[in-house]
Amino acid sequence: MKRQMLNENSPELQSVIDELKAMDYPSRVDVTDRVMEAVSGQPESIFGTHSKVRWIAAAAACAAFALLVNVGHLLANPYNSNQVNTMLSEVYNPDSYNGDGMIMDESDEYFL
């Protein structure tokens, strides 16, 4: 419907569109010298040194962010859940404790 209406131009509208199509800037522009003057003072700052500095700064910022995320993760989760479960089972479940690696010295006699 919309496409159909787009193609239905009244003669007046068509003349406006034709006129618009033919409407060009009445004189030749020549801004080359002005543009070149404006840009020639700063080539290095755009494509050279400053560009490299920007890249290095961006990389450093990314690295710092990654480090922060890692530190935050470690602080929030010092051990993973498997490690914690193993530790708890060893402490609280006497059946799972077989005494391997236990070294007794004289002071341990009090507890026998």
Kindly state the smallest distance separating residue 29's Cβ from other proteins, in Å. 4
Closer by beta carbon to other proteins, 5 or else 75: 5
The total of other beta-carbon atoms located within 10 Å of residue 26's CB is: 5
In SS3 terms, 23-54 reads as CCCCCCCCCHHHHHHHHHCCHHHHHCHHHHHH
Where along the sequence are the contacts to other proteins (CB under 8 A)?
Answer: 2-3, 5-6, 9-10, 12-13, 15-17, 19-21, 23-26, 28-32, 34-36, 38-40, 43, 46-48, 51
Kindly state the smallest distance separating residue 87's Cβ from other proteins, in Å. 54
Residue given tokens 């020549």 in the structure block:
30
